[in-house]
Amino acid sequence: MEKPFNTDQHDVRVNDREQLIYLLTEAAEIEHGLMCTYLYAGWSLKRTVDEGVTPEQLASIERWRKQIRGVAMEEMVHLAMVNNMLMSIGSPPHFRRQNFPVPPGYHPSSLVVRLAPLTRDTLAHFIYLERPEGMEMAQARGFESPLDYERRSPTATFTPTAEDYDTVGHLYRGIEQGFEQLSASMGEAILFIGNPEAQLGRDLMDLDGLFAVTDLASARKAIEVIIEQGEGGRESRRPDAAESHFARFSAMGEQYDAFLREDPGFVPHRALASVPVMLAPIDPCGTTHVEALEAARVLDLANAVYGLMLRLLASGTGMERGTAARCRVDIDGAVGLMHVINSLAVALTTLPADDQGTVCAGMNFHLPRSALALPQRHAGTLLMAERANEIALALDTAAAAWPAVDASLGGQLRALAAQLQELT
């Protein structure tokens, strides 16, 4: 029998600004990674009764898809708020993350972030990830960490280093304590030296719960929003806890179980690869190499669009703004590309991953080393416009060859390129 996760709720150490920045960048990567895993599971769900589900089952599947999309959007808010906290103390935003599959040791052993279709075990894993701090729960079957390890150094170090934590809420408790300790020792005016204009706000991205972080009170509020939306808050039986990610996934699990009792053969997801990779891995270790020509080409394009989307997000925030119009184009362009990614990701769930054809491909959110920051505003805008035009041409070619690719996608990239070019 697997042992439950460690419920040791030790304090996460934050001795200086650099360590707080380190923990916030890890929090950003976790929120980013969770968003990707939730989107992948949502894309895996079946869409018609022709795929072997009843109308009643399909209605629930559609509801689950909407709920998962809503959770993923709130993870995007969490990512934005973590970046606002980073920028509030003088750090640049952090939109990078480790490519999938995430190696052991990159996160605590209890935190496995992996792409998988929405099986019952995957849903149990989501419940585990969003569990409230201190709740005993075993990891879901198939998502156990291959190694049992601790990342916490016996003594504090001057070099920023990893800390161990049991849950995402545990990490945020440490971050909040770090803000409190540094505010007390340094003074809020010295800690919160970032320009609020560099942050993402509702004026640029219309997401509920998004606001600038300028002092200890707003940093605490940002953390409270993240914890309440994720695990339902730190207090038991909160009136709004039913809307938390933990509660929504738990209710989804109960509905899933009810369908399985009625129909043990119930499968709400398509035959989708777990841990798909775009490039042939040196060590396969449970991955699925997407190598069939059509799927490989569509995956390549989806990842290229994803990379451009993140560059637009980074360009629209993190630097003191030039003109409102420039940032508006960057952020609106990024939001528009999310719809392009969604179209390509859904198409991938219908395309065989390899010549055997046993599983279909999936979007794997691959990022190159060269992704993101383009701090030279004029040159950066030209580079993003150039990239948008390159992807547009490739999308047109793919749409002409394969009906799975929406023929309108290339036009959306060209329109973005034109808007960017107008800014130069």
Looking at residue 321, what is its pLDDT? 55
Looking at residue 8, what is its pLDDT? 55
Residue 279 has pLDDT above 80, yes or no: yes
Distance, CA of 185 to CA of 190 (rounded, Å): 10
Residue 242: other Cβ atoms inside 10 A: 12
Looking at residue 4, what is its pLDDT? 43
Looking at residue 95, what is its pLDDT? 93
The answer to whether the Cα torsion of 154, 157, 159, 163 is positive or negative is positive
The CATH number of the structural domain formed by 273-424 is 1.20.1260
Residue 413 has pLDDT above 70, yes or no: yes
Distance, CA of 111 to CA of 140 (rounded, Å): 11
Q: Do domains 1-270 and 273-424 have the same CATH topology?
A: yes
Higher-pLDDT residue of 390, 209: 390
Contacts of range 135-138, beta carbons closer than 8 Å, 24 or more positions apart: 135/167, 136/4, 136/5, 136/7, 137/4, 137/5, 138/2, 138/3, 138/4, 138/5
pLDDT category at 410 given cuts 50, 70, 90 is very high
Residue 241 has pLDDT above 80, yes or no: no
Distance, CA of 61 to CA of 47 (rounded, Å): 8
Looking at residue 250, what is its pLDDT? 96
pLDDT category at 327 given cuts 50, 70, 90 is confident
Write the single-letter amino acid at 96.
Answer: R
Residue 318 has pLDDT above 90, yes or no: no
Looking at residue 322, what is its pLDDT? 56
Residue 3 has pLDDT above 60, yes or no: no
Looking at residue 197, what is its pLDDT? 86
Domains of the chain, by residue range, sit at 1-270, 273-424
Q: Which residues contact 220 (CB under 8 A, 6 or more apart)?
A: 176, 179
The mean predicted confidence, pLDDT, of the chain is: 90
The percent of residues in the chain predicted with pLDDT above 90, rounded, is 69
Lowest mean pLDDT of 208-212, 261-265, 363-367, name the range.
208-212
> Span 278-295, mean pLDDT?
90
pLDDT category at 161 given cuts 50, 70, 90 is confident
Q: Whole-prediction pTM value?
A: 0.93
Higher-pLDDT residue of 391, 322: 391
Looking at residue 2, what is its pLDDT? 42
Question: pLDDT (tens digit, 9 = 90+) per residue, 175-229?
Answer: 999 999 999 999 999 999 999 988 888 888 888 889 999 999 999 999 999 999 9
Higher-pLDDT residue of 227, 236: 227
Question: pLDDT (tens digit, 9 = 90+) per residue, 108-147?
Answer: 888 899 999 999 999 999 999 999 988 889 999 988 887 7
Question: pLDDT (tens digit, 9 = 90+) per residue, 8-54?
Answer: 568 888 999 999 999 999 999 999 999 999 999 999 999 999 999 99
Looking at residue 103, what is its pLDDT? 86
Fold adopted by 1-270: Ferritin (1.20.1260)
Residue 328 has pLDDT above 90, yes or no: no
Radius of gyration of the chain (CA): 22
